[in-house]
């Protein structure tokens, strides 16, 4: 039996997506030149159709080991489908007081996931836009990727 590359890729996508049935959204965006700048907000448009289930929302960050501090402040804007707007300031702790990175990784990159909102119920179906802005004093930081992950919470 011969398989084409396209059919093998499709099979792999189906297998990988079936491994995480509670995942609603999981997307990263890459920064230019591996640097996150003040003037470079990252925007995620998320289609939500489940207004019954509870969800956990995570912020995801990949940074290099050359990151100069132990934390990362960011501004999080959430815009709902009816124009509702929420703005938060979030402090992600990236390293322990002894300087050891908290995130997983090998080599020069570390990845960290922070629970941003727990047990969240979306009030309306539609497109929610989550925007992440860099909120540190440094105009650019060695952050290579930013992401959002939303998981449906299984009922007890």
pLDDT in tens, 96-133: 999 999 999 989 999 999 999 999 999 999 999 999 99
Q: How many CB atoms lie within 10 A of CB 139?
A: 11
Of the candidates 74, 75, 77, the one whose C-alpha atom is nearest the C-alpha of residue 86 is: 77
pLDDT in tens, 5-47: 665 565 555 555 556 778 999 999 999 999 999 999 999 999 9
Read off the pLDDT band of 65 (50, 70, 90): very high
CA distance 82 to 76: 18
Structure-token pair, residue 25: 């959204």
pLDDT value for 106 = 87
pLDDT in tens, 137-155: 999 999 999 999 999 998 7
Domains belonging to the chain, first-starting first, are 22-152 (2.60.120)
The three-state secondary structure class of 18 is helix
């Amino acid at each position: 039996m011969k398989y084409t590359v396209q059919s093998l890729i499709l099979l792999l996508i189906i297998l990988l997506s079936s491994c995480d049935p509670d995942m609603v959204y999981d997307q990263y965006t890459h920064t230019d030149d591996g640097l996150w700048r003040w003037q470079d907000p990252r925007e995620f448009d998320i289609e939500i159709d489940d207004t019954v289930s509870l969800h956990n929302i995570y912020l995801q960050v990949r940074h290099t080991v050359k990151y100069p501090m132990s934390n990362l402040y960011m501004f999080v804007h959430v815009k709902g489908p009816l124009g509702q707007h929420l703005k938060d300031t979030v402090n992600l702790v990236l390293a322990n007081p002894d300087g050891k990175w908290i995130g997983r990784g090998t080599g020069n990159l570390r990845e960290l996931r922070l629970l941003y909102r727990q047990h969240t119920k979306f009030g309306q179906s539609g497109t929610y836009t989550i925007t992440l802005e860099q909120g540190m004093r440094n105009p650019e930081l060695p952050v290579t990727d930013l992401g959002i992950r939303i998981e449906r919470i299984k009922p007890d």
